[in-house]
Every structure is written in structure tokens, then in C-alpha cells.
Amino acid sequence: MKAALHPGRLLARRYRLLDQIGAGGMSVIWRARDEVLDRVVALKVLAPSLAADARFRGMVREEARAAAQLVHPHVTSVHDYGETVAPDGSITSFVVMELLSGEELELRLTEGPLPWAEAVQVGAQVADALAAAHRLGIVHRDITPANVMMTRTGVKVLDFGIATRIGAPDEDEDGETFGTPAYVAPERLDGAPAQPSTDVYSLGVLLHEALTGRVPYPADTWEELSAALASGPPPTLAELPELPPQVARICLQSLARDPVDRPTARQVATVLLDQLLPADPPPAIVPVPASPQPPKAHTVPMVDDGTATESGWSRRRVALVLVSAILAVGAVLAGVALLPDQQPARQAQPTVAPVPNPSTGPPAPAPSEPSEPTAAPSAQPSATSPTSDPGTLIEAASRVDRLIGAGLSAGEIRSDVGLDLRNELRNLTTTVSSGRDELAPPVARLRQKVAVRLGEGGISPAYAEQLDAAIANLGAARV
């Protein structure tokens, strides 16, 4: 008889089971302690009823291999795969993963749809994870809210249990379709080989549900899904007038019936991330003082092209006013400069070089300024001083984002590090703006991440120093 799993049992002479924290149809999740590395991990153990089947053990092993290839901030890290043989010959297969602290998106959606900005952030991070998987030739095949964990550092895509290689048959040995019906792409019902576009469809369903609180085609069985696809109305997001049109468009494109009409996961991530970037603050408007005697309009030549309309004359009048104001300012400044009683004494002017004796000839020309700066502005952008007014949270976050972009362009920040920092920055602005977190803790985490990435060689010391100063300034922003 197979020994039951229980707290305190040691698997593979290394992993001590602490307590059960979850269960599914194929596996049980345990919190465990890795006694070799002295850390707490999560163990996904194949259910005892399936452990005797070599096919299911192979699926667990393939899940571990697939997920272990993905080193990505939005994919759960896999540390190990192991098998324990009991005295009776029974085998316990398990995957060792990072232990996450957070909430499943499925549970979060029981409270209703997410605010659109938060839903877009979730969709962008899942899309980014899928894009990384697709680059490695992996199709997840089960993107659902139950397999997305929301943590303090962003979402994590879970459960690569039915992942497969691009082009592999999409059915099991009995001809059955894997996955959760409401999230399965239409072509999978016909047994089409696994393709990245099937994951993009599931992503579209997930984003639609996060925005509206419901899936486009509700179904619990394959028959219900077929009926819903055949007779259901096409999905729409018209009920969300505040939703940016780019988000609505990319979501509905992801739900296209024909796979060739869907965008890639990278395209989805790019569009969604663009909607989350802080907008640049508007340029400062410098008031132009009015002149007591503005120049007459005839000082500006007018050319009549014979096609003037009322709006065209209005634009010309605006141009006249602006030019007149500029000329007036110039006249005022020139008048001030010519007033003799306004001129400062010559002896009060500091000199930049010794004054030559007049008898020795004309003075030597002053040294010219260097024709080029010592460092290119794009390579060393200046960060706002921590002592200056940081402005609003969005303004301060925008400065940090632009500094990251400059570092990427200059090759001073590695691309994966730039993506990681930008994700962390977006998490910060979203959670703080929505009131779910105070500003100080995420700012401290972001500064710590910069320090870690500096130690890894992913950021140059000069940029790390400027980023730290800009993030410190962000910590004093107005929320």
C-alpha cells in the first residue's frame, strides 16, 4: 500500500512537506522546505490516483522542463523535478516551484470586473509571458484566470501541465481536447496542431473577462462551446466607453475566429503596455506680456491665394496677433536695453580674463566654447535632483520611464532589465494610484531592484546612480 502524503514526510531526501495549500484534478500543492538550500518552496505532486500511470508522470516531467526554460518575471520559476519510490514500488512524481504569495485572478474576478487600467496591466503581463514562451516554441494551452496569480510584483502565469511544442498534435491519445472549454480557441475543436495563436485567443478571453466580468462565449462542455460559437453574437466591448479604443481593438482582434487574423502575443503586449505608460507632462506655457502700443498689422505681409475662408481669415488673425506680440516683446526689451540709467556700471562686471594694456594692441579673443559636449545627452541623461519638487506621481514615474528608455537606447541598460524595471514601475503606479498600496514600500523595492541589477551587470554604474536618484525623487511625489 502506498504511503500517504502527510506533513513531515520527506520526499527525495530533501523536501519536507509542511502543509497542503491547494488541490486540482491532477495534482496536490504542498508547502515544503528545501532542507538542502534552507528555503520554503511549493511542491506540485501528482495525484495518487494518477501516479501509477507513466503517461501522467511524463506530463509532469514535461511541464517541469517547459516551465524551467522560461526565466521570465511573469512565469512561475521551476526549481526541480523529482520522483520518490516507496518501499511498495509506488512512485510519487513532483515539481518544485517558487512559493507565491498572492491571489488567483479567478478569485479576484468573483468580486466583479477589474478597473480597465488594472485589467490592461494583467493582460499585458500575461501577453509578455506568452511571447517569451512562444519564442521558445512552447504553447501553454490553458491560459485561464485560475492559472494567473496576482502578486505584489505583478502577475505570474502558472501550470504548464498541458503545454506542448508548436506544431504538436493538439489532442490526447484518446482524441480528447485539453483545456477549459470557455477559453479554448475554435480551431482546437477541429484538432488543429498547437499554435501560438491558440494562446492568443485564450488571452483575448481572459482580457475580455477581466474588463467585463464575463467570458465572450460561456461554456462548461465542448458541446456548449460549439453551440455558443455557432449561434452566439460576436463579442463587443461597447459597454465600456472609457476603455481606450486601442485596447478594445486588440482584445477583439485576439478573439478572431480565424487564427491568421489574430495578433501575436508580442503585439498584444506592446499595444497594452503603450496604454499604461505615463503620459508626458504638458509643456509649460510662458505668458507673453502685452505691449502698450502693439505694432500695426500692416507690418506683416499677407498673401491672398484667392481661397480664403472665414476659418482661414481667423487663422491669419491669430498669426497676426502672435507675431505682433512677439514684436512687442522685442521692442520692450530693446527699449530697456537702450535706457542709459538702466545700464550697470562697467566696474561691476566680472572679467573672465586679464584686461590687456591698450598700448599692446587689441585684446586676444576669448577662448571659444567646445563644439561638442563631453558626453552625449542620450548616454547620460540628467535625473531630477531628489531635493527638487517631484510633482505628481505620474510626472515622476514618467521621468523614471524616460530615463530607462534613454539607458536602453544608449546600451547602458540590458533589454531584459529594462523590461523588468518598467514592469515594476507600472505595478507601482497602478497599485499606488488605486489606493491598494502606500508609496514608500514599492519605491523601496524598485530601488532595491536597481541595486540588484547593478550587481548583476545589467545596468551601468552611471545609470544606476541616476535611476536611484530619480526613484528616490518618485518617493516624494504627490499621489
What burial letters (b/e) apply to 14-29, b meaning 16+ CB within 10 Å?
bbbbeeeeeeeebbbb
Which helix (H) or strand (E) is 42 found in, with range? strand 39-46
Q: Which of 142, 159, 170, 420 is catalytic?
A: 142
172 contacts: CB under 8 Å, gap ≥ 6: 178
Beta bridge partners of 10: 16
479: exposed, middle or buried (C-beta count within 10 Å: 0-12, 13-18, 19+)?
exposed
Question: What's the CA angle centered on 257, arms 253 and 262, to 5 degrees?
Answer: 35
- Asked if 228 and 238 touch (Cβ cutoff 8 Å), the reply is no
44 is in an annotated binding site: yes
Q: Which CB contacts under 8 angstroms, 24+ apart, belong to 218-221?
A: 218/182, 219/181, 219/182, 220/181, 220/182, 221/181
Q: Within 10 A of 72 (CB to CB), how many other CB atoms are there? A: 22
φ, ψ at 449 (rounded to 5°): -65, -40
Residue 348 phi/psi, 5-degree rounding, is -85, -10
| d(C-alpha 8, C-alpha 25), whole Å | 24
Strand-strand pairing, 15-23 and 10-11:
antiparallel
Element (H, E) at 23: strand 15-23
334's grid cell: 530693446
- The CA distance from 448 to 445, in Å, is 5
Is 389 among the catalytic positions? no
As annotated, the binding site for ATP includes 44
Q: Which residues are catalytic?
A: 142
Q: What residue numbers does the annotated binding site cover? A: 44
